[in-house]
Amino acid sequence: MDERITIAVIQGTMREQRQSSKAARFVAEVGKQFEGVDIVFVDPADFSFPNSGKDTEGKDPRYTEIVTKADGFFIVTPEYNHSYPGALKRMLDSEYAAYHRKAVAVAGVSNGDWGGTRAVEGLLPALRSLGLLPVRLTAYFPRVQDIFEENGQIKSDQADKYTKAVKGEFAELIWTARALKWGRGNL
Ligand SMILES: Cc1cc2nc3c(=O)[nH]c(=O)nc-3n(C[C@H](O)[C@H](O)[C@H](O)COP(=O)(O)O)c2cc1C
């Protein structure tokens, strides 16, 4: 199958000093190395989601367009108080049917030793409820300050380990996204 697919890489927070954006940008760069895949970077700070939830007034048409076009999603979430950020939830909740039967991968980020595991585990049920199908693998970025330089570049002694982890997860995401795209069109 050589049809192109689109993967939206979603940054999970709009906090001004956010460090997880370095991991999200890294994930997007790894994704660009795959043939036949278009990467769209999604920053919740670029959108506006007024009101409270699943109503037409609470949508941002630019986000609607991205979700409708995407075949899969790679969400990079930091951990905030043992969960994932409210800004990510608000953005995800603004859409519903456009996610159905599409693939999703998640990566966790923290400045401590756990790599955002509790945020990831908390996020998965919400993603399933949206009709997304999570892949098996998860990349974790614990102690994010030790992985990336101040300018966002991955540190040279960390590059192999994290490129391998993200590439493996991305490969699963792409396979699943392609299979589901075929299924949506043929079943
Ligand atoms: C409101 C808030 C709550 C946080 N709670 C946790 C937490 O429960 N567990 C954890 O490991 N790190 C926690 N952190 C630290 C983040 O892991 C750290 O800020 C890291 O850089 C990723 O988040 P960032 O992208 O906002 O920088 C918290 C940070 C903030 C701003």
125-171 pLDDT, tens digit per residue, is: 999 999 999 999 999 999 999 999 999 999 999 999 999 999 999 99
What is the 152 CA–ligand 1 centroid distance (Å)? 17
Give me the pLDDT at residue 52, please: 63
For residues 61-77, average pLDDT:
98
Give me the pLDDT at residue 55, please: 59
List % helix, strand, coil for the chain (3-state, nearest 5): 45, 20, 35
Per-residue pLDDT for 1 more than 80?
no
* Secondary structure element (H or E) that encloses residue 72, with its range: strand 72-78
The b/e string for 40-53 (b: 16+ C-beta within 10 A; e otherwise) is: bbbbbeebebeeee
Give me the pLDDT at residue 2, please: 58
What is the 101 CA–ligand 1 centroid distance (Å)? 31
34 lines ligand 1 (CB under 6 A): no
Neighbours of 58 (CB within 10 A): 15
Could you identify the atom of ligand 1 that is nearest to the CA of residue 17?
27
Banded model confidence at residue 58, pLDDT cuts 50, 70, 90 = confident
pTM over 0.95: yes
